[in-house]
Amino acid sequence: MAVRQLNVFVENKSGAVAQITELLSANQIDIRAMVLADTPDYGILRLIVSDTDKAVAVLEAEHIITKVIGITIVRIKNEHGGLSRVLAILRDNNISIEYMYAFVAVSGEEAFAALRFENKEAALHVLNEHNVPILHSEME
């Protein structure tokens, strides 16, 4: 199963993110991970949800603009320096990261980083070569 990230374009106004999370909740769609990036006029809410297709349908029915993209998720030991080691591997191999966000599993034993790369094929090769566990990866 590949991870598909849902990008939602959000107006920069009070309650806009709450409206989105309420719509998802009302439709039994669970949020697994979320990050919000903003600009002066709008925000981009990046989500990993339990049912991407249903989330798109629910949000677009309310005239909320969405886009689904493929991302790579790597498993990281939840310990001091775990993320730093993975990022050093990417840096040392000249792999550019467009953006990323990280989160910890409920158990607290594992962490994960969701990454979008400038050159995904090269990034996957380097990660595999260095035995970095790739949870899911979707070819675009």
CATH homologous superfamily, domain 72-137: ACT domain (3.30.70.260)
- β-pairing, 110-117 vs 4-11, is unpaired
pLDDT tens-place string over residues 77-136: 888 999 999 999 999 999 999 999 998 877 777 889 999 998 999 999 999 999 999 986
Correct CATH for 4-69 of 3.30.2130.10, 3.40.50.1370, 3.90.400.10, 3.90.870.10: 3.30.2130.10
Contact indicator for 37, 44 with CB cutoff of 8 Å:
yes
**Residue 139 pLDDT > 70, yes or no?**
no
For residue 8, give both structure tokens. Answer: 């939602």
Task: Give the pTM.
Answer: 0.83
Helix (H, G, I), strand (E, B) or coil at 116: strand
